């Protein structure tokens, strides 16, 4: 049976969600083609001739971009079985089914995709699943080393720029999936509901090895939280460093774990970790509590200090615009970033991020959030909301425009920050209230990845025009 797997966007790296199921499907004797539409064009003949087409939907942006592609594939090949899989598939199952998707798989998808493909190959039609629970699969799997040979080469994806201006080719892998925490705004929670799954160490190391052979000098670990299984994580990075002493990497770890597992930060540093990304989200304790983030403003300060103590970079991310933020609160966020000397460590897009409420979000449990939304918007795949203070929404739009324009002209982060600062003061009617001194901030002295977009952002026009 001919199978086509399609990814539309995966934050600038080779899609794990294509490479991993390919191995499983090839092992069953299927003929598999993959297309990463962030880099390459879809071959229409391949789609027309396929009996099974899979769409990998790991995040909001990818799903938004996939919507017109799914419709077009359905039109061009009415008889193919279309399967949508990945984190965002179960949450949007009903909508995807109306677009022509036949099966939806969330959670640990590889084994289930094989099961469905076998059923389709045997001319059986897989049972239609109705509820979100029925399309989420959380069985432990024995992973297989992903097959990357047919994906676009690594040099076509996001690269790492070092402080001296040199560039490194970046590979990507996952040592775990899901998360054991239940942060209220997180899209992982409606699917994994506090569980995480380990990718076996030999598979992770094997995947790194093939990417090093393909030219990777740096690896991004895409685990939602690398320290969910801290023993597993430290064993992996020790092996990584032992096998490839020159290889560098980056990871994502929540503030709570940076503080709790502080003794392992030196291990990260010593094994080649260049920086840690951490979802700080807010510096306001009341907002952090609403989000169930498991850390406080003080913990964030402590995490900054702990990382600095071992000279480990920390890249904080934020949900800057959220129903409970005020103009003064937003300026406090800027002020805090400034005081902590983090201007250069924060990607400008982080200062424009507006809370996205997807289907199934735990945020909808909060009466004040539910009251702000006017129902699910299928076109935008979220519950749009308005801030009670219209000036906050206006500021968000202005900051977004500043970031878009500044990023396309590659302005230094400090300059973009200064523009946002001035805009914030203007919104507060305090144009000359405070001058900022950016001279003490780092200026591009930190390594950073070239992909500066974000998984829960509105796709750009350019991204939406990739296929048809
Ligand atoms: S720790 Fe991170 S990945 Fe885990 S639930 Fe919270 S936001 Fe999501």
Secondary structure of 87-101 in HEC code, one letter for each residue: CHHHHCHHHHHHHCC
Please choose, from the candidates 239, 249, 234, the residue with its C-alpha nearest in 3D space to the C-alpha of residue 202. Answer: 239
Looking at residue 319, its pLDDT comes to 96
Looking at residue 443, its pLDDT comes to 54
Distance 72 CA to ligand 1 centre (A): 34
Q: What value, to the nearest 5°, has the Cα angle with vertex 223 and ends 19 and 12?
A: 55
Pick the CATH number of 2-137 from 3.40.50.2300, 3.30.70.100, 3.40.50.1100, 3.40.50.620: 3.40.50.2300
87 Cβ inside 6 Å of ligand 1: no
Distance 178 CA to ligand 1 centre (A): 9
Atom nearest to 224 CA in ligand 1: 3
Under 8 Å between Cβ of 84 and 30: no
Q: Looking at ligand 1, which residue's alpha carbon is closest to its atom 6?
A: 183
290 Cβ inside 6 Å of ligand 1: no
183 Cβ inside 6 Å of ligand 1: yes
Q: Looking at ligand 1, which residue's alpha carbon is closest to its atom 3?
A: 224
Distance 15 CA to ligand 1 centre (A): 21
Distance 345 CA to ligand 1 centre (A): 20
Can you say how many angstroms the Cα of residue 356 is from the centroid of all Cα atoms in its chain?
13
> In terms of DSSP bridges, do strands 103-107 and 136-137 run parallel, antiparallel, or are they unpaired?
parallel
Residue 263, both tokens: 């003794």
Query: Where are the chain's structural domains?
Result: 2-137, 159-317, 319-450
Q: Going residue by residue through the chain, which has 468 residues, state the pLDDT in tens, using 9 for 90 and above.
A: 999 999 999 989 999 999 999 999 999 999 999 999 999 999 999 999 999 999 999 999 999 999 999 999 999 999 999 999 999 999 999 999 999 999 999 999 999 999 999 999 997 677 665 565 689 999 999 999 999 999 999 999 999 999 999 999 999 999 999 999 999 999 999 999 999 999 999 999 999 999 999 999 999 999 999 999 999 999 999 999 999 999 999 999 999 999 999 999 999 999 999 999 999 999 999 999 999 999 999 999 999 999 999 999 999 999 999 999 999 999 999 999 999 999 999 999 999 999 999 988 999 999 999 888 888 998 899 999 999 999 999 999 999 999 998 877 778 899 999 999 999 999 999 865 656 777 766 555 789 888 755 555 555 555 555 444
Q: Looking at ligand 1, which residue's alpha carbon is closest to its atom 8?
A: 186
186 Cβ inside 6 Å of ligand 1: yes
- CATH 3.40.50.1110 is the classification of domain 159-317: no
Residue 374: CB atoms within 10 A of its CB come to: 10
Distance 254 CA to ligand 1 centre (A): 7
181 Cβ inside 6 Å of ligand 1: yes
Distance 117 CA to ligand 1 centre (A): 32
189 Cβ inside 6 Å of ligand 1: yes
Please choose, from the candidates 277, 303, 330, 10, the residue with its C-alpha nearest in 3D space to the C-alpha of residue 295. Answer: 303
Strand partners, 84: 55, 104
225 Cβ inside 6 Å of ligand 1: yes
CA–CA separation, 106 and 63 (whole Å): 13
Residue 298, both tokens: 């003080």
With residue 328 as reference, give the H or E element that holds it: helix 327-339
Helix (H, G, I), strand (E, B) or coil at 273: strand
Helix (H, G, I), strand (E, B) or coil at 105: strand
Looking at residue 360, its pLDDT comes to 87
Distance 352 CA to ligand 1 centre (A): 20
Distance 297 CA to ligand 1 centre (A): 17
Please provide the DSSP assignment of 368-403 as one string: HHHHHB-S-BTTTTB--B--SSHHHHHHHHHHHHHH
Atom nearest to 254 CA in ligand 1: 1
- Model-level pTM? 0.93
Under 8 Å between Cβ of 132 and 89: no
Longest distance between any two alpha carbons in the chain, whole Å: 72
């Amino acid at each position: 049976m001919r199978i086509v797997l399609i990814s539309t966007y995966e934050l600038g790296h080779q899609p794990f969600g294509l490479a991993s199921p390919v191995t499983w499907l090839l092992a069953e004797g299927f003929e598999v083609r993959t297309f990463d539409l962030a880099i390459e064009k879809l071959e229409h003949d391949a789609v027309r001739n396929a009996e099974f087409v899979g769409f990998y939907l790991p995040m909001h942006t990818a799903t938004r971009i996939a919507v017109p592609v799914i419709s077009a594939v359905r039109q061009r090949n009415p008889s193919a079985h279309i399967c949508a899989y990945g984190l965002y598939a179960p949450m949007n199952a009903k909508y995807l089914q109306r677009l022509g998707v036949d099966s939806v798989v969330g959670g640990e998808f590889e084994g289930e995709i094989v099961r469905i493909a076998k059923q389709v190959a045997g001319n059986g039609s897989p049972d239609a699943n109705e509820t979100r629970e029925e399309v989420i699969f959380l069985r432990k799997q024995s992973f297989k080393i992903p097959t990357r040979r047919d994906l676009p080469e690594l040099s076509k994806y996001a690269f790492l720029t070092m402080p001296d201006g040199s560039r490194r080719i970046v590979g990507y892998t996952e040592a775990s999936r899901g998360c054991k925490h239940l942060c209220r705004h997180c899209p992982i929670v409606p699917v994994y509901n506090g569980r995480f799954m380990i990718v076996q160490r030999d598979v992770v190391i094997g995947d790194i090895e093939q990417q090093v052979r393909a030219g990777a000098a740096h690896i991004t670990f895409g685990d939602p939280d690398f320290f969910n299984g801290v023993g597993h994580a430290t064993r992996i990075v020790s092996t990584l460093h032992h096998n490839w002493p020159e290889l560098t990497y980056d990871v994502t770890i929540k503030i709570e774990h940076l503080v709790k597992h502080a003794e392992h930060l030196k291990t990260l540093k010593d094994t080649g970790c260049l920086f840690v990304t951490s979802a700080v989200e807010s510096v306001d304790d009341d907002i952090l509590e609403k989000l169930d983030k498991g850390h406080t403003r003080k913990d964030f300060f402590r995490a900054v200090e702990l990382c600095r103590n071992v000279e480990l970079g920390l890249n904080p991310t934020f949900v800057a615009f959220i129903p409970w933020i005020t103009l003064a609160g937003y300026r406090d966020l800027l002020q805090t970033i400034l005081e902590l000397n983090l201007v250069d460590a924060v990607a400008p897009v982080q200062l424009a991020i507006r809370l996205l409420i997807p289907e199934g979000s735990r945020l909808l449990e909060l009466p004040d959030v539910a009251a702000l939304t006017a129902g699910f918007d299928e076109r935008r795949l979220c519950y749009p909301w308005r801030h009670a203070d219209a000036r906050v929404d206006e500021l968000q739009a202005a900051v977004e425009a500043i970031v878009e324009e500044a990023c396309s002209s590659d302005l230094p982060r400090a300059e973009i920050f200064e523009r946002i600062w001035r805009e914030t003061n203007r919104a507060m009617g305090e144009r000359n209230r405070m001058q900022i001194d950016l001279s003490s901030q780092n200026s591009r002295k930190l390594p950073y990845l070239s992909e500066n977009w974000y998984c829960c952002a509105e796709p750009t026009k350019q991204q939406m025009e990739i296929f048809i």
